[in-house]
Amino acid sequence: MPKLLQINSVVNTGSTGRIVEQLGQWAMTQGWESYIAYGREARESQLELIRIGSKAGVYLHAIASKYLDCHGLMSRWATRKFLKQLEVIRPDVVHLHNIHGYYINYPMLFDYLREKNIPTVITMHDFWLMTGHCAYINKTCDRWKNGCGKCPRLDQYPAAKRDASASNWQKKAALFADMPNVTLVPVSHWLGRYADASLLKLVKQQVIYNGIDTEVFKPCDKQEVSVKGVDWNKFTIIAIATRWTEANGYLDILQLSQLLSEDCQIVMVGLDDEQMKALPANIVGFKKTESFTQLQELYSKSDVIFNPNTEVTFGLVTIEAMACGTPAIILRDTAGEELVDEQTGFMVEKVEEVVELIPIIKSINKEQTAKACRLKVQTLFEASKQYQKYIDLYNQLIGK
């Protein structure tokens, strides 16, 4: 029986943590032994888990990263211990997800994978592998194409007081120039085009979209109300993030709220305490939730979802809403363009255009639109279909 070992910062929490858990479970149904190594947080799992390092080690790595801009270059002892565990497990395929997060030394890991010639899959959930510092990039900076340096976003995760982005970029470029047994999996073609223009351009690539379970995310009875505080008689725009920041559109949502008429409101999920206190009257705020039941109701009862994040690499919340029958408003030139068509969503250049779409959305046949949205997700983004693509890739890599 072949062995799969995935590595991610978290397990069964957050978007990547749930993907890792569900993919590992699917692999077991397809005849694979399945392991997950993690560095931060793990919730209840059906798989064999391996903790890399400790909380203290993560803390020390984070402090060093803050002052030296050496994210991913610490945790040598923890990584050395983990590699000894790999020697025992002897995985047939190693699948990397988020290897940033202050818990592993990526040059040590890559050197080991190259030395042992282990087929390696890397799901590209963000931009960190192709930059000298940033996990996410914006359109005003293209230093990542040629070597970074003089990073304008040192205050963004992983925040640092010293700029070592040029040397970090060189380290990554040197590693990927000598990793012949790696397959890069961007989660969208949009992200793949960025990879093609970066230090990852020589790495073979296969796009596999993220997926969701459409039996979990499905339309709910709009007459039943369990979520309190929302006036569902108003036209409702839902916006969701794991954590709202200026970088992913927090200020854009506030700007949108100022443009809405009195019969409209915004439901905003993923806010912290300070943000909750500062909301205008026409935004109903919720903190981050992992409750699928609550999300299902919020998605189903909203009239449209809007994702203002120009840096998002896929848009999982968008397809969750669509699976619940809710159309989407997408910003042009983002990964979201791959998620919708003319039956399931709308594209805008800027926030002001969202308001212009409200009369149009009010006039569409909601039942037909809901069916089209759900069918789109079931056809292209069903989790089992996406996970099977990974299994097919694993089997191809080991010649099975």
pLDDT (0 to 100) of residue 221: 75
Which residues share a beta bridge with 184? 122, 205
Any idea what DSSP says for residue 117?
T
3-211+383-397: what CATH class?
Answer: alpha beta
Distance CA 31, CA 394 (A): 12
> How big is the CA angle at 161 (ends 157 and 166), to the nearest 5 degrees?
80
Query: Among candidates 54, 59, 100, 96, which has minimal Cα distance to 77?
Result: 54
pLDDT at 289: 87
Superfamily covering domain 235-380: Glycogen Phosphorylase B; (3.40.50.2000)
Which amino acid belongs to residue 183?
T
Q: Do domains 3-211+383-397 and 235-380 have the same CATH topology?
A: yes
Structure token pair of residue 292: 């699928």
Residue 139 has a pLDDT of 84
Smallest CA-to-CA distance from 170 within 202, 199, 190 is with 199
Domain ranges of the chain: 3-211+383-397, 235-380
Give the C-alpha separation, 216 to 264, whole Å.
28
**Pair type for strands 93-96 and 204-205:** unpaired
Measured N-to-C along each axis, helices 316-323 and 292-301 cross at an angle, to the nearest 10 degrees, of 70
Closest C-alpha to 83, from 61, 106, 66, 101: 106
Q: Tens of pLDDT along the chain (400 residues)? A: 999 999 999 999 999 999 999 999 999 999 999 999 999 999 999 999 999 999 999 999 999 999 999 999 999 999 999 999 999 999 999 999 999 999 999 999 999 999 999 999 999 999 999 999 999 998 889 999 999 999 999 999 999 999 999 999 999 999 999 999 999 999 999 999 999 999 999 999 999 999 999 999 999 876 666 788 899 999 999 999 989 998 899 999 999 999 999 999 999 999 999 999 999 999 999 999 888 999 999 999 999 999 999 999 999 999 999 999 999 999 999 999 999 999 999 999 999 999 999 999 999 999 999 999 999 999 999 999 999 999 999 999 999 7
> What are phi and psi for residue 233, nearest 5 degrees?
-75, -15
What are φ and ψ of residue 176, in 5° steps? -75, -15
Distance CA 112, CA 118 (A): 9
Q: What is the dihedral of CA 94, 98, 102, 104, to 10 degrees?
A: 10
